[in-house]
């Protein structure tokens, strides 16, 4: 494909590539490369719209061209080659924003791609020769917004994820990558810098698929679901986790599965009476709702409890 020569072309190619990656993530959610590319492309769109183009850290954080060379090449078909070309073109133009690539960019993208692969190999070999002195590691990836923001007293709260640094290796496997989940607190008047609160570390990419989100503010705590239920107590600046809820509710813990052998609507071939007991505080995302207070439904769906904001005690509704 021809190189991108102006911001208008950049925006058009970026929007089309984001739409393609969003579709790929939807159809192949277990393939981590699609998720990583999707996160970087969305960050690229946000930064290009918010005048972050002069920040060298953000320039260097975009590695979609390197990922394409490392994980997708050689292309097995025409549509994959087209995607790879788009990723290289976007990466190259971003490096030279806002003036666009220099005159040498008229060279074909195939040539640049070959150069990129050669540079990647040389860098990897050089990194290997320095192992005796230090272990080369990547920098933390760009922060990607997860779900909707929630207003709390004095701040707008947003969950973000970022790829954690990892050791550079020719044998690097994307499935070993881990993510940091943070709560970003933004001053509505922008008089104070953003504050980041660590929520979870070393999350696998598959963990981010299961409805990571903010639940709501009960006046004392901001509740969230990140693998399990938890909260940030903004009055005392501390995290609340499942262990705190268990201590506040010692009689409300695990639930045995219901014996459904006598249910006429369930085939005897699929009755399940041998399941292990399930913990109410480490259940699936669908068990938790928010209606002014955190509400949790028991795993057997026999009852729903509301959590008192002051005591964390669960009250049957």
Q: What pLDDT score was predicted for residue 104?
A: 36
The Cα–Cα gap between 32 and 200 comes to: 19
Is the pLDDT reported for residue 107 higher than 50?
A: no
Instruction: Summarize the confidence of residues 186-207 as an average pLDDT.
Output: 86
Q: What pLDDT score was predicted for residue 217?
A: 96
Q: What pLDDT score was predicted for residue 111?
A: 56
Contact 197, 232 (CB under 8 A): yes
Is residue 125 very low, low, confident or very high in pLDDT (cuts 50, 70, 90)?
low
Instruction: Summarize the confidence of residues 33-48 as an average pLDDT.
Output: 86
Higher pLDDT, residue 196 or 6: 196
Q: What pLDDT score was predicted for residue 189?
A: 85
The pair of three-digit structure tokens given for residue 63, joined into one six-digit string? 């590695």
Q: What pLDDT score was predicted for residue 272?
A: 57
If DSSP states are collapsed to H, E and C, what string results for the chain?
A: CCCCCCHHHHHHHHHHHHHHHHHHHHHCCCCHHHHHHHHHHHHHHHHHHCCCCCCHHHHHHCCHHHHHHHHHCCCCCHHHHHHHHHHHHHHHHHHCCCCCCCHHHHCCHHHHHHHHHHHHHHHHHHHHHCCCCCCCECCCCCCEEEEEEEEECCEEEEEEEEECCCECCCCCCHHHCCEEEEEEEECCCCCCCCEEEEEEEEECHHHHHCCCEEEEECCCEEEEECCCEEEEECCCCEEECHHHHHHHCCCCCEECCCCCCCCCCCCHHHCCCCCCCEEHHHCCHHHEEECCCEEEECCCCCCEEEECCCCCCEEEC
pTM of the predicted protein model: 0.54
Q: Which of 123-127, 185-189, 236-240, 259-263 has the lowest mean pLDDT?
A: 123-127
Q: What pLDDT score was predicted for residue 105?
A: 39
Instruction: Summarize the confidence of residues 117-143 as an average pLDDT.
Output: 56
Describe the strand order of the beta sheet including 144-152 as a list of residue ranges: 144-152, 155-163, 179-186, 195-203
Higher pLDDT, residue 311 or 75: 311
Q: Which range among 10-19, 69-78, 117-126 has the greatest average pLDDT?
A: 10-19
Q: Which of 52-56, 67-71, 125-129, 138-142 has the lowest mean pLDDT?
A: 125-129
């Amino acid at each position: 494909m021809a190189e991108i020569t102006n911001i208008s072309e950049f925006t058009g190619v970026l929007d089309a590539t984001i739409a393609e990656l969003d579709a790929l993530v939807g159809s192949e959610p277990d393939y981590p490369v699609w998720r990583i590319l999707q996160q970087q492309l969305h960050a690229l769109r946000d930064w290009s719209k918010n005048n972050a183009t002069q920040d060298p850290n953000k320039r260097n954080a975009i590695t979609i061209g390197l990922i394409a060379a490392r994980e997708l090449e050689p292309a097995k078909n025409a549509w994959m080659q087209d995607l790879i070309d788009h990723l290289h073109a976007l990466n190259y133009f971003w490096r030279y924003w806002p003036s666009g690539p220099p005159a040498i960019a008229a060279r074909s993208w195939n040539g640049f791609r070959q150069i990129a692969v050669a540079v990647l190999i040389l860098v990897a070999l050089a990194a290997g020769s320095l192992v005796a002195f230090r272990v080369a590691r990547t920098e933390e990836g760009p922060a990607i917004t997860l779900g909707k923001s929630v207003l709390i007293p004095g701040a707008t709260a947003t969950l973000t994820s970022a790829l954690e640094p990892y050791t550079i290796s020719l044998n690097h496997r994307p499935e070993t990558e881990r993510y940091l989940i943070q709560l970003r607190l933004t001053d509505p008047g922008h008089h104070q810098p953003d504050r980041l609160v660590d929520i979870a570390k070393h999350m696998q990419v598959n963990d981010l698929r299961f409805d990571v989100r903010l639940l709501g503010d009960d006046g004392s705590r901001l509740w969230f679901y990140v693998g399990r239920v938890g909260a940030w107590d903004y009055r005392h600046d501390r995290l609340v986790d499942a262990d705190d809820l268990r201590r506040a509710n010692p009689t409300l813990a695990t639930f045995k599965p219901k014996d459904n052998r006598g249910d006429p609507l369930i085939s005897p071939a699929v009755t399940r009476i041998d399941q292990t007991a399930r913990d109410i505080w480490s259940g699936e995302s669908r068990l938790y709702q928010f209606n002014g207070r955190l509400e949790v439904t028991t795993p057997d769906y026999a009852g729903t409890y509301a959590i008192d904001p002051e005591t964390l005690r669960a009250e049957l509704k």
